[in-house]
Amino acid sequence: MRKFTILLFLSFLQIAAFAQLNIPGVPASKEYQFKESVVPVRIPFQKPPVRPQTKTNQPQPLVAGYTTSLSDTLMDKGTWQKTPTGVYVWRLALQQEQANALNIYFKNFYLNTGDRLYIYNATGTKILGAFSRLNNGPFFATGYLSGDEIIIELDSPVKYETLPFKLELLGNIKSEKNTTNNGFGGAESCEVPINCPEGANYQKQKRGIARILLLDQGTLYWCTGTLINDTKNDATPYFLTANHCGSSSSISDYNKWLFYFNFESPDCSRPAAEPSSDILVGANLLATAPTTTGSDFKLLLLKNSVPISYKPYFNGWDATGSISNSGVVIHHPEGDIKMISTYTTPVIPMDYTGTYTNPNGLYWRVVWAATQDGHGVTEGGSSGSPLFNSSGLVIGSLTGGTSDCTTPDSPDYFGRFSKSWDANGSDSTVQLKYWLDKNDANISEIPGFDPSSTQATPFFSANVQNVPIGGSVQFANLSTGPITSYHWEFEGGNPSYSNEKTPPLIYYNKPGSYKVSLNVTYPAGQDSLVRASYISVRPVIYPNPTSDGEFHILLGNYDQSKITISIYNMMGQRLNTFSPQFTNDGVSIILPHNQNGLYIIRVTNNGETHSYKVMNFHQ
């Protein structure tokens, strides 16, 4: 008879859509159908001061709600009961008026063997848990449940004198935009769900994207970010977002951040019911740079490895700073389901909210395009979302902008990944390079990593792509998967092929643009990557002649500290008023005063000196 009543109960019970690291279970109070109700403790709500919301100039994340501190004595209001099988059940109900949804933040969370913790709504129809020793730590937090009341239940083989956790905060998910919205359903009508045709080429990349419910000095915010790969391809849970997401968060706050993976519609529709997701709790801050003087990035290390059951994908990146002609952003506007917005015109390097091109600017300016299923833009909650190029590699993180459904052609600005890489300073706390290139591979791009894949993915990078005649290129093999053999081909190179995992130095002796290909074989088949016009071989100095006084000296692979440059005019006078701008493959120079004439350029590279003639002529 008891078996029948349990099954009847389960037929009406819905395990909450947000799954965390938990184990199977049903609250004992539900299994044994406790008749005694739990009287909720009312928690007064006082809205804390909130920073002004602006999308430009000084970006702010989208407010998701607020937290209320809970006293240590509150747990004394919980009640104990015992089941016929000897399980002790402790329950405490909390209620906060005008809440759209509630969640709980714990501290000193140390359950013992046999303990099971559940969080459920007032009707008991939506349940989070069972949580167990797997979740132990100095901090723990749960996903939210809709409504203004939640019940905490601990099932244990023992009746505790002192409970193995403390309640620290009650989270009140309370949208400023819509009094009935707790994130889901808040995005504007022009947004495009990720599983529409626009997202067909980004099905791997989307698995790395997560909605963030972050805590910053008592206020909750929505942001977006992504798992990011490193050169070890080892699934280290690095996570990239924007610095302005939690710019004032403390160590304690970071421990309470919630990361929602796989929060998306199963198809191209906007679902009526909130879809499921997978949650991880807590992170450590590794590196960051501000908006005004940096590229507005934040690199985190998640507290837990991402379970394979979440189907994680660690997104690859491109740190070359190359202009991308097309691509997408994948994001959670207004804390809603995962969306995709598309750009089909080249991104422009410039300063934040700038209007003029600046090759050394810290941001990409992006304008979105209308597509088959809408005209995706960005909104509050999109902050920190990754900008992808057409190869599916991350090239930036969203800072802000002015696009919305009423002005979809207004620009947005993304902190450039290439600037976040190492341009904010040499310290590990202000750059990505230290963390994402632990192998010291000195490479500028890397593919994503799928820890659950049984296939191989060929990928490679070159230390330089523009080389002088007679120069050499070192290729890095970044392929992943169970590879058994490799075959390289180097058009225009010497040697022209290699079957080694890492090929030798390849020399190029004739000017032109050349393709490089890599074929890999693995137990289930083979795959190839062909990169057309990947290597460009040019004269050492170009353009020559020049008409505007500007030219480029191609150095290939070089050490800037070992380079000296001298410029002389036709009279043999040395010119001292020029400012060389070093790039990844050489140096750009603008002649002083832009005067017509012949100039002698003397370049010393690693103790070896060469002289070149440059003609400047303009009308």
| Catalytic residue annotation | 244, 296, 383
Q: Is 146 exposed, middle or buried (0-12, 13-18, 19+ CB in 10 A)?
A: middle
The Cα–Cα gap between 597 and 99 comes to 75
In this structure, what is the dihedral angle of CA atoms 389, 395, 397, 400, given to the nearest 10 degrees?
A: -70
Q: Do 483 and 520 form a contact (C-beta atoms < 8 A)? A: yes
d(CA 153, CA 200): 43
b/e per residue 55-79 (b: at least 16 CB within 10 A)? beeebbbbbbbbbbebeeeebeebe
Single-letter amino acid, residue 312: P
Contact by Cβ (8 Å): 328, 343: yes
Longest Cα–Cα distance of the chain, Å, equals 107
Angle at 215 between CA 212 and CA 216, to 5 degrees: 125
Q: Report the sign of the C-alpha dihedral through residues 226, 230, 233, 235, in that order.
A: negative
Q: Are 321 and 24 in contact (CB under 8 A)?
A: no
State the DSSP code for 21: S
Q: What angle do CA 28, 30, 33 make, to 5 degrees?
A: 105
239 beta partners: 227, 300
How many residues appear in the chain? 619
Closest CA to 297 of 63, 62, 59, 57: 59
What is the C-alpha to C-alpha distance for residues 174 and 181, in angstroms, rounded to an integer? 7
Q: Shortest CA distance to 127 belongs to which of 261, 232, 23? A: 23
How far apart are the C-alpha atoms of 286 and 297, rounded to whole Å?
Answer: 11
C-alpha pair distances (Å), 77 with each of 72, 109, 218, 378, 440: 10, 19, 24, 45, 56
Measured at the alpha carbon of residue 291, what is the angle toward residues 290 and 295, in degrees to the nearest 5? 80
d(CA 371, CA 192): 9
